[in-house]
A and B are shown apart, each in its own frame.
Chain A
Amino acid sequence: MTEPDLNRIWVYLSASPLLGLTMTLVAYSLAHRLYLRSGLNPLLNPVVTSVTALILFLLATDTSYDDYFDGAQFVHFLLGPATVALAIPLYQQFNKLKQVWLPVTVALVTGVVVGAFSSVAIARLLGASLETQLSLAPKSVTAPVGMAISEQIGGLPSLTAALVVVTGIIGAVIGSKLFDLMGIRDDSVKGIAMGMTSHGIGTARAFQVSAQMGAFSGLAMALSAFLYSVFLPWLLSITGVLG
């Protein structure tokens, strides 16, 4: 094959949605494999490695985000049905909640309010734009729900997604040190704190510690996603953050 031929094929392919879709899938499977090989090292979380690989590829081929998204939108669209799908683990966790709902709900509601407001207040104090402040508010919610909340309240879903991932990784990495420091020994308490802050990434980490910590982390993650989506828009509007 001669060079002009290759060039023509590239020009054709790079304008078709097929390339963006394929690149997304390739980057994901490579990153996922690397993560498994590393023995599930939280620092090699596949979100970070796959997105980095994808960005490098787009830069190297001089592809604009819009061209890329033409193909990637097919993957992106599935976030909607995937959010609905979270009803199944939520329903299954609710059974566990029956025995402990009062302390867990009180602790989570307080944690959610403190987390959302301190983040918004600090960002505002340090001069971040309203859009950035709003993107920070749902940073502890599992990514699909957090992105949906962000879009709804006027934040930037992509910024929220990035903050969700960073929060998740930080929580998973430093969580256990904080527990030691505070003298927390109960695995169910650790799990609840982990799931509330670090959602899916924290829950995966919690399952590595013990099944009990993982189960409570999953419960807290589901419950806080629910609390955030119901109360955050309302809280932001009554406190005047949302004009």
Chain B
Amino acid sequence: MSILRGFLILVLFFLLGESLRLVFLVPISGGILGLMLLTLYLMVTGGVGNAVAGASQALISVLILLIMPGLTEIFFISGKFTGQWLAVSVSLLVGTFLSVVTTLVLLNVLARKLPSGSSNHE
């Protein structure tokens, strides 16, 4: 029963996010607005109830299952991307590489004070 109550809270925040998106025409999806509202709510109330924690854990542990139907579609519409795979692969590899290197370099410069077990002196 408690998982069901947690699920109800998640669905209510989803509904709230979706309504906000439609009312204020925000370019952010209802699910993400719901995520932000729930985070805010947790910060204000200062704790996570067992019911929400349980329902959230149950859903997050099967995220892969939840994205499967959407992912499967890619195979059936791959005709749409004929001739674009090279662009996609290069962009993915180079873009990812650049963003990781930027972050690492910045962190090395800025984050001498990150709390760590391992030290940072080279």
Contact = CB atoms under 8 A, between A and B. Distances in A.
A61 interface: no
* SS of B interface (majority): helix
Nearest to B12: A84
A215 B109 CA distance: 21
A39 interface: no
A175 to B, nearest CB: 8
Contact of B114 (A68, A100, A118, A140): A100
B19 interface: no
Q: Which of B65, B75, B81, B115 has the most CB of A within 10 A?
A: B65
Given A149-B32, A171-B96, A212-B117, A107 B110 contact: yes
Interface in B92-122: 92-96, 98-104, 106-108, 110-111, 113-120, 122
B69 A84 contact: no
A81 interface: yes
Nearest to B111: A103
A44 interface: no
A88 B31 contact: no
A192 B107 contact: yes
Contacts of A233: 27-28
Contacts of A165: 67, 71
Query: Which range holds the interface residue count of chain A?
Result: 35 or more
B29 A86 contact: no
Contacts of A92: 48
Interface string A66-93: 0011001101101111111111111110
A19 B69 CA distance: 13
Contact of B84 (A102, A127, A171, A230): A127
Contact of B106 (A50, A107, A157, A178): A107
Interface string A189-226: 10011001100100000000000100000000000001
B71 A162 contact: yes
Q: How large is the interface on B (under 10, 10 to 19, 20 to 34, 35 or more residues)?
A: 35 or more
Nearest to B83: A127
Contacts of A64: 76
Contacts of A143: 63, 67
Given A75-B68, A103-B114, A80 B63 contact: no
Interface string A46-58: 1100110011001
B114 A54 contact: no
A94 B39 CA distance: 10
A212 B115 CA distance: 10
Given A84-B34, A87-B38, A144 B102 contact: no
Given A123-B88, A161-B70, A165-B71, A110 B106 contact: yes
Contacts of B31: 79-81, 83-84, 144-145, 148
B116 A187 contact: yes
Nearest to B87: A126
Contacts of A162: 71, 74
Given A80-B34, A123-B87, 14 more contacts: A24-B68, A47-B64, A81-B31, A87-B42, A88-B48, A88-B52, A91-B48, A115-B96, A120-B91, A144-B63, A148-B31, A163-B88, A175-B100, A229-B28
8 contacts: A54-B68, A58-B72, A107-B106, A107-B107, A144-B31, A152-B28, A189-B107, A212-B117
